[in-house]
């Protein structure tokens, strides 16, 4: 592993609009201050994908849309957020570059609106790191071997971040969320129980998948499966830098009231 390479994922729950870029840029600058090189995987601003999908439906007027053409339209959302974040990162004094699809090669396979990454031009990333220690990558506005633009399904930035982290042998992969922690149950639908759901410090892959299947969409199931198959841990965190939740081989451990973890934590089977 490269001890100074981080992959940070920023999605719509963090980037609700351009006005939220400053806080996200400050977090990247904080991580950069440790000396790490950084790849930021960025998705669209919150609600932007929905707006682009409505535009596509309106333009085809009830006809069956060509998924490749729809993907081309949806990809503009990532281009917008990546370009805007580039400006925000430069404003805080960081040397940064954007890894556009043409620079990372034909990298995806599958349905145009639910594509999966299969290859990464590692040399292109290392070349870019030669002049910019921070690289911004659209969540995965990828291309097929015949040059068509494709995009992942909703939540695809989770899988993209883990794929990039694995390919580049990064030290950490952090998925930033507005709620930077996992709970044993969804607090939003748990209001009438006598005991509030406990915060998870460590969660096994199996328990994470069970949580996702129960409808808690804080992390994509395909991303969890990818990490599990390759023995990679992932981290859910907030921009505040506070301790979040790690998902890995397990066992699942609940956080103590003080926020401490480890031997003083409570395992799930206790």
Secondary structure (3-state) at 210: helix
How confident is the model over 5-49, as pLDDT tens digits? 999 999 888 888 899 999 999 999 999 999 999 999 998 898 998
Q: Residue 262 has what pLDDT?
A: 39
In the chain, beta strands by DSSP E: 5-10, 37-42, 96-98, 108-109, 116-117, 134-138, 142-143, 149-150, 172-176, 182-183, 199-204, 234-237, 245-248, 253-254, 266-267
User: Residues 115, 148: one domain?
Assistant: yes
User: Residues 183, 128: one domain?
Assistant: no
**CA 12 to CA 45: how far, in whole Å?**
5
User: Residues 201, 142: one domain?
Assistant: no
User: Residues 221, 144: one domain?
Assistant: no
User: Residues 46, 102: one domain?
Assistant: yes
Average pLDDT over residues 78-98: 94
Q: Residue 199 has what pLDDT?
A: 75
Residue 183 in this model has a pLDDT that exceeds 80: no
User: Residues 249, 264: one domain?
Assistant: yes
Q: What is the DSSP letter of 172?
A: E
Average pLDDT over residues 242-264: 64
User: Residues 190, 142: one domain?
Assistant: no
**CA 67 to CA 52: how far, in whole Å?**
13
Q: Is 35 exposed, middle or buried (0-12, 13-18, 19+ CB in 10 A)?
A: exposed
- Terminal C-alpha separation, the chain: 34
Residue 217 in this model has a pLDDT that exceeds 70: no
Is there a contact between 34 and 3 (Cβ–Cβ < 8 Å)? no
In 71-160, beta strands by DSSP E: 96-98, 108-109, 116-117, 134-138, 142-143, 149-150
At 267, list the tokens: 């395992």
At 176, list the tokens: 């930033």
Helix (H) or strand (E) holding 89: helix 67-91
Average pLDDT over residues 63-86: 91
Res. 211 pLDDT band, cuts 50 70 90:
confident
Average pLDDT over residues 249-266: 57
> Which range, of 103-112, 182-191, 240-249, averages the lowest pLDDT?
182-191
CATH number, domain containing residue 118: 3.40.1160.10
User: Residues 158, 223: one domain?
Assistant: no
User: Residues 140, 236: one domain?
Assistant: no
Q: Residue 165 has what pLDDT?
A: 92
In the chain, the number of structural domains is 2
CB atoms within 10 A of CB 227: 25
């Amino acid at each position: 592993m490269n001890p100074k390479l981080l992959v940070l994922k920023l999605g719509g729950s963090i980037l609700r609009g351009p006005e939220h870029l400053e806080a996200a840029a400050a977090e990247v600058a904080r991580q950069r201050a440790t000396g790490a090189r950084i790849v930021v995987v960025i998705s669209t601003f919150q609600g932007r994908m929905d707006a682009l999908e409505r535009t596509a439906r309106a333009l085809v007027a009830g006809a069956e849309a060509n998924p490749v053409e729809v993907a081309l339209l949806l990809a503009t959302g990532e281009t917008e957020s990546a370009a805007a974040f580039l400006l925000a990162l430069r404003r805080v004094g960081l040397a940064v570059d954007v890894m556009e699809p043409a620079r990372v090669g034909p990298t995806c396979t599958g349905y145009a609106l639910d594509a999966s990454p299969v290859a990464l031009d590692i040399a292109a990333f290392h070349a870019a790191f030669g002049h910019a220690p921070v690289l911004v990558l659209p969540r995965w506005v990828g291309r097929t071997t015949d040059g068509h633009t494709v995009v992942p399904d909703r939540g695809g930035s989770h899988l993209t971040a883990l794929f990039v982290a694995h390919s580049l042998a990064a030290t950490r992969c952090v998925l930033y969320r507005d709620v930077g922690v996992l709970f044993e149950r969804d607090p939003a639908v748990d209001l009438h129980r006598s005991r509030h759901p406990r915060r998870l410090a460590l969660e096994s892959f199996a328990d994470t998948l069970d949580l996702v299947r129960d409808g808690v969409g804080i992390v994509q199931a395909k991303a969890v499966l990818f990490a599990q198959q390759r023995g990679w841990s992932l981290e859910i965190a907030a921009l505040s830098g506070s301790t979040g939740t790690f998902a890995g081989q397990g066992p699942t451990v609940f956080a103590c009231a003080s926020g401490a973890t480890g031997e003083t934590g409570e395992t799930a089977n206790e």
